[in-house]
């Protein structure tokens, strides 16, 4: 089949690759000059299925009030007249309970664990490298209250069969030797040994080249204007370079997905949550992290990427504003220098921000729509890198008429009550197995 993929971030690029591997003729359209130039460019670098956790959880509303009062707050809300923002926030608050949290986390862990396994196979098959390491994630707790609160996550990890280790301070230092330099600043940690790290941008760029070798055509610097419909089908894509046609269409536009969909009568609750990162050159390798350390206090990930440290975090609700705010840089610098004071030179760091496409429940939207030949692969939030290969493989399987290797329960857009038309699930595909 001829398939057009809309978007060439890590989600769109992996989708194109696996669709081409399945034998389809694929064209990718994107407004940027190359693959991975937006949200995939400077993310935290984590491939963290064990840390796949919805932001909407029990106690989050109370925590949010506290966070908003902190100097180095992990959450910033810039109130504005934006019905989409307020609708999204209300739906997120509705998920802030134990039952929803456990359901959503299990869904997220399912697709994230599968995605990591697919990525491992990709590495074995192609030899692709991207400053990758497979040394796990250490969620670091500065207070006993944080450590005690991890019990809910641990219960879900046990139910999902995800390996983990609860560490005392000495155990944290054994996992991350540089933390010995700040002994006494943390009380323990939760280690997720199955997690990995890597440069998402490097991966996306290299995979795009591999996709081209499989025959994928990338049409960059092309603006997508609209989808052309006829009955219950998409019959074309209007772009700045004319109308393009295919048999099927995969929409992977991240935070911008709702703009295109609402023009054809589909509303999905995907909203941008702005994140920031700094990329710090390493000065002293012995003072830098070995893998990823999640600073639970500031919700900041500190990741080793070759000769650099990537520090990513902050959840800023501010619409589509891409202004780089100095206060957010100071938060990232504070987190990394308080835990790895001798690791890198923050004065020489590259400062970046991107828009994470979040759903209210944390689970991505992967699968069919009310239009028979339109499929979604969006809404991955902070876990686009983590879930990319698995989401792409699921997409390629569905479009190829194959039953995916994991249950599709909870991944489709019909889990939201705002969807009026029935989702057109291809015949032969079982949603829950």
Q: Is 64 annotated as a binding residue?
A: no
Render 153-221 in DSSP notation, one character per residue.
HHHHHHHHT---EEE-HHHHHHHSGGGGGGTTS--EEEEETT-EE--HHHHHHHHHHHHHHTTPEEE-S
How many angstroms from the chain centroid is the CA of residue 255? 11
Half-sphere exposure of 255 (CA within 13 A, CB side): 24
Q: Is 250 annotated as a binding residue?
A: no
Distances (CA, A) of 174 to 64, 136, 189: 33, 13, 11
Q: Is 309 annotated as a binding residue?
A: no
Nearest to 189 by CA among 176, 202, 199: 176
Q: Is 77 annotated as a binding residue?
A: no
Q: Is 111 annotated as a binding residue?
A: no
Q: Is 8 annotated as a binding residue?
A: yes
Nearest to 382 by CA among 103, 47, 152: 47
Q: Is 297 annotated as a binding residue?
A: no
- Given the structure tokens 């729509």, which residue do they identify? 369
Q: Is 349 annotated as a binding residue?
A: no
Question: Positive or negative, the Cα torsion across 184, 154, 91, 233?
Answer: positive
Q: Is 188 annotated as a binding residue?
A: no
Sheet holding 242-244, edge to edge: 224-230, 233-239, 242-244
Q: Is 9 annotated as a binding residue?
A: yes
Q: Is 237 annotated as a binding residue?
A: no
Largest CA distance in the chain: 64
Q: Is 3 annotated as a binding residue?
A: yes
Q: Is 167 annotated as a binding residue?
A: no
| Residue numbering of the annotated binding site for FAD | 3-17
| Residue numbering of the annotated binding site | 3-17
């Amino acid at each position: 089949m001829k398939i057009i993929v809309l978007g060439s971030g890590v989600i769109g690029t992996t989708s194109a690759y696996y669709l081409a591997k399945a034998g389809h003729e694929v064209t990718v359209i994107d407004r940027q000059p190359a693959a991975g130039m937006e949200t995939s460019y400077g993310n935290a670098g984590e491939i963290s299925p064990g840390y796949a956790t919805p932001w909407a959880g029990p106690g989050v509303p109370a925590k949010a009030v506290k966070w908003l009062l902190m100097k180095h707050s992990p959450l910033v809300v810039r109130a504005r007249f934006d019905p989409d923002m307020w609708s999204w926030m209300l739906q997120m608050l509705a998920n802030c309970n134990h039952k929803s949290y456990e359901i959503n986390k299990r869904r997220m862990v399912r697709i994230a664990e599968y995605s990591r396994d697919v990525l491992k196979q990709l590495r074995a098959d192609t030899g692709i490298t991207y400053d990758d390491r497979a040394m796990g994630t250490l969620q670091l707790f500065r207070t006993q209250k944080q450590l005690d609160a991890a019990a809910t996550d641990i219960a879900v990890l046990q139910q999902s069969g995800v390996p983990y280790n609860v560490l005392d301070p000495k155990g944290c230092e054994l996992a991350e030797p540089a933390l010995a330099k700040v002994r006494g600043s943390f009380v323990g940690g939760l280690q997720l040994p199955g997690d990995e790290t890597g440069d998402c941008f490097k991966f996306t760029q290299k995979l795009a080249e591999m996709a081209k070798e499989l025959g994928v055509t990338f049409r960059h610097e092309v603006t997508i204007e609209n989808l052309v419909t006829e009955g219950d089908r998409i019959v074309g894509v209007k772009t700045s370079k004319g109308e393009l046609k295919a048999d099927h269409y995969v929409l992977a536009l991240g935070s911008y997905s709702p703009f295109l969909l609402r023009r054809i009568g589909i509303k999905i609750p995907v909203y941008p949550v702005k994140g920031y990162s700094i990329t710090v050159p390493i000065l002293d390798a012995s003072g830098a992290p070995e893998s990823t350390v999640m600073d639970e206090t500031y919700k900041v990930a500190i990741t080793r990427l070759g000769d650099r440290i990537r520090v990513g975090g902050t959840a800023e609700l501010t619409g589509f504003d891409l202004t780089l705010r100095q206060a957010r840089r100071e938060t990232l610098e504070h987190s990394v220098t308080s835990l790895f004071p001798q690791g890198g030179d923050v004065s020489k760091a590259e400062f970046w921000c991107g828009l994470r496409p979040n759903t209210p429940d944390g689970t991505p939207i992967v699968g069919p729509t009310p239009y028979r030949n339109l499929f979604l692969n969006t809404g991955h939030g902070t876990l686009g890198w983590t879930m990319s290969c698995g989401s792409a493989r699921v997409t390629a399987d569905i479009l190829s008429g194959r039953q995916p290797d994991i249950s599709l329960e909870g991944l489709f857009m019909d889990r939201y009550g705002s969807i009026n038309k029935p989702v057109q699930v291809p015949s032969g595909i079982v949603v829950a197995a």
